[in-house]
Structure 1
């Protein structure tokens, strides 16, 4: 739990927060690709059943919320294992890969509470939790053309991949890669472990992002 000193507290969602989270999730997904735009309602049901730690294939999804005093939920962030990416690997590898990467599925702040550090507090809570779990790489999918959100992630240490640009990183099973899936989003990428950075490089006439240990 974190407190920004002015009464805004960020902590895991609790049972009963589902509809508030769904409303914010719908705000984040307005104009999103079909299939993602309906993602908030199943999340609402899961939060009302489990709270902020939701059992999923290959691990748990985690949902943080920010509240201001006794008021309603002002912001939410949902962090999940990258299930689509994991299912592209053999079943034997999935358990070892599950903690290599975490993906921000949803991040939304009520318009009345923006520019107060709410989004930054949510992102910091998620990064701290992922780091303590040994996650190597944090990913966020940003809608193509969402320039203010892209700038927001850049200011917080994320590198934006180009459309379709792969991200390469080391796992316990060797080198692996992922991309945006071609569904109207770009990846924002940040290395979490000490001494590791993400850099753009070129290979055989194409560019890619590589997470590597600093020399």
Structure 2
């Protein structure tokens, strides 16, 4: 087991690079798309899919590659991360998200310190964030471990397009994107409802995962003696 310091550094670096990918690709896409929002979103989504897959592969063996307070909270609930480590993980993720936003701004010669002005506030978007986070956590919890990086990246790529919110699915991502007045940004006034929806989606995913778990051997008897082939 890696030390907590090493794992926290992995979470900080991974989350920071993830936000740099999300925000930086959004800035580049908006500059090159000529006002075509669909093309900009497609470019943003493709960059995020590739970046997320690589980052999970790189940092997964060190920290589990959570990059997301909702994921870390669920791992505590399932006994896969200690409660004592949760604050360190979340702190590293939030700091990493802020650093990732500033890094993206620096690469594109933008002011480092910004606040987003893009309002994302409607019942549909709140529902979308709950759905996006529910699906993400269910993929993380149910996918075969060897396929988790690809499954998570593929799900996020799809959720960019099938959710009205473009699938933040991550309170740290909300925090980082709140600090960027760019294509990927979210106004601070919109952030609390997004985070609440993400927490609710994560909690529902834990409930669904537990319900879907097979019964322990010998803990239940079949309700019928019939066999189906």
Instruction: Name the structure where strand makes up a greater proportion of residues.
Output: 1
Q: When the two structures are superposed, what TM-score results if normalisation uses the length of structure 1?
A: 0.30
Which has a greater percent of helix? 2
Greater length-normalized contact order (CA 8 Å, ≥ 6 residues apart)? 2
Q: Which has the greater radius of gyration?
A: 2
